[in-house]
Amino acid sequence: MAMLDQIQTIVIVMMENRSFDHVLGHLSMKRFNDRQDVAGLIDPEQNPAYANFLDGQGYQPFELKDGPFLHDLPHSRSMVSTQLGQAGGAFTMSGFVQAYFNATGSKVTDPPSMGFLSPGDVSISNFLAMNYAVCDNWFAPLPTDTQPNRSIAYTGYSLIDDTKARPIPTVGESFIFEWLNTRNISWRVYHCGISFFTLFDRFHDVLGPNFRSFRQFPGDFSSESPSEMPQVIFIEPEYTDSPVHFGWTPNDNHPPTPIGQGEHFLRDIYDLLSKDAAKWNRTLFITTHDEHGGFFDHVPPLPISAALPPGALFSEGFTSTGPRVPALVASPWIAPGTVFKGAMDHTSILQLLSEKFAGTPDYNEEVKRRREAGIQSVSQVLAQALAQPRTDVPRPPADTITSSVELKPATDTRVQTDSQQAFTAAAQKLVEFDRPRALEKYPELAHLPSTPIDAPGK
């Protein structure tokens, strides 16, 4: 696509664990943005099509005030299956309350899994949706939790179907960094605390020059000319499940963390990317979420199966995507209020990179298979692009964050989750791999408990 020639830097931010309706469902509600062109929530408190059930009682979506959650929401493969529900071969999206009760044992009037946020609590996501493009058919590729979905995002494949404390296995030569290196594409990762890529056992990369603290981003951005900037930039938040938070407040949106700090994080990225018009005109900023995190969404997943690659550590293949996740694309080439309704998932990013840098959307065989099943490239968002870049640079709302989280020590109550254990184990291995370099790059790991944590997972 010729339009892609205008883009020099692609910036990718993947947040954690929120559904489309939870974050952006308000866009179509009359009392908020009343965007009938967006497949969000319509009259959610009354619409019987959204009812979820527990012991015969119906629960409707409700307006949730952002804040810390009492519990993480369930989103393992089995819990997602409960959430999606099935009747007559169709997904009913009716089990989000049942799954919450099964996982937490709590029976409450307003289960958080049915909560949606108002524009005031997601002011930056709302701002990006209103001023650039919202993709309202972007799905997590698999109906399960973090590690398999991020594996698809960075390789196209997943050899696992759950999140555990083990190096995430990958299909050879599929990993995004290898793919970019092979094609001499410059890339960089800016991370807050420890990078998620540590969990892929990519210690040489994680300790290498392409990985930099997010604190270095403003300086790099200012000092590098457009031609010096990396062609692909991944920006990572501070993960809630990181074993040590040192100097960063969790801002990845993963419950129990509120969403306010994540909105703050997105605003900082947008402010920086858009402050230099020459660079902004050559930038495409994509932000999405790895999976729905247990929050209700009313749109059934796509019936797109996932291949069971040789060496897969599970035997029952997936027959659908996961639920929808929030996805926003910003660039001065995009008109305000754009809605892209094509089917997408995380491989839409791999298609984009492959189109841009290899001349074909088929990053690998699995990405090709998903494309042939209907998944479209992010480049299609630019099919409606403007003839010239916009000269206005809308400014996001001022600091309107209403929630906060306190820094917690490593021994807090979440230390037993599988994801927490996975982060801890990966961080320990990173320190063992090269302690001086690991501590130089991630000083917080000096506070990492060296004793293996052997506690039951959730």
Integer Cα distance of 152 and 142 in angstroms: 8
Q: Does the footprint of another protein cover residue 393 (CB under 8 A)?
A: no
Q: Which of residues 245-274 bind another protein (CB under 8 A)?
A: 245-249, 251, 261, 264-265, 268, 271-272
Kindly state the tokens that stand for 289.
């979420």
Q: Does the footprint of another protein cover residue 433 (CB under 8 A)?
A: no
Integer Cα distance of 157 and 416 in angstroms: 27
Q: Does the footprint of another protein cover residue 408 (CB under 8 A)?
A: yes
Minimum distance, C-beta of residue 436 to another protein, in the bound complex (Å): 17
Show the CA angle centred on residue 159, arms to residues 347 and 360, nearest 5°: 30
Minimum distance, C-beta of residue 137 to another protein, in the bound complex (Å): 18
Q: Does the footprint of another protein cover residue 92 (CB under 8 A)?
A: yes
Q: Does the footprint of another protein cover residue 310 (CB under 8 A)?
A: no
Q: Does the footprint of another protein cover residue 58 (CB under 8 A)?
A: yes
Minimum distance, C-beta of residue 342 to another protein, in the bound complex (Å): 23
Phi-psi region of 17 (alpha: psi -120 to 50; beta: other; left: phi over 0): left
Stretch that binds another protein, among 130-138, 174-182, 198-206, 405-413 (CB under 8 A): 405-413
| CB closer to another protein, 60 vs 305 | 60
One-letter amino acid at 178 equals E
Burial annotation 173-192 (CB, 10 A radius, 16+ → b, else e): ebbbbebbeeeebebbbbbb
What is the per-residue binding string for another protein in 439-458, x denoting contact by CB under 8 A?
-----x-xxxxxx-x-xx--
Q: Does the footprint of another protein cover residue 407 (CB under 8 A)?
A: yes
Minimum distance, C-beta of residue 286 to another protein, in the bound complex (Å): 19
Q: Which of residues 321-350 bind another protein (CB under 8 A)?
A: none
Contact 179, 232 (CB under 8 A): no
| CB closer to another protein, 209 vs 456 | 456
- By DSSP bridging, strand 327-330 and strand 133-135 are antiparallel
Minimum distance, C-beta of residue 109 to another protein, in the bound complex (Å): 5
Among 56, 172, 359, 436, binds another protein (CB under 8 A): 56
Integer Cα distance of 154 and 148 in angstroms: 10
Cα distance between the two ends of the chain? 45
Q: Which H or E run includes 20?
A: helix 20-24
Kindly state the tokens that stand for 45.
């408190």
Provide the 3-class DSSP secondary structure of residue 54: strand
Q: Is 398 exposed, middle or buried (0-12, 13-18, 19+ CB in 10 A)?
A: exposed
Minimum distance, C-beta of residue 315 to another protein, in the bound complex (Å): 29
DSSP annotation string for 211-226:
EEEGGGHHHHHHHS-T
Q: Which of residues 219-248 bind another protein (CB under 8 A)?
A: 244-248
Contact positions vs another protein (CB under 8 A): 46, 48-51, 53, 55-60, 70-71, 85, 87-88, 90, 92, 94, 104-109, 192, 214-215, 217-218, 244-249, 251, 261, 264-265, 268, 271-272, 406-411, 413, 415-416, 444, 446-451, 453, 455-456
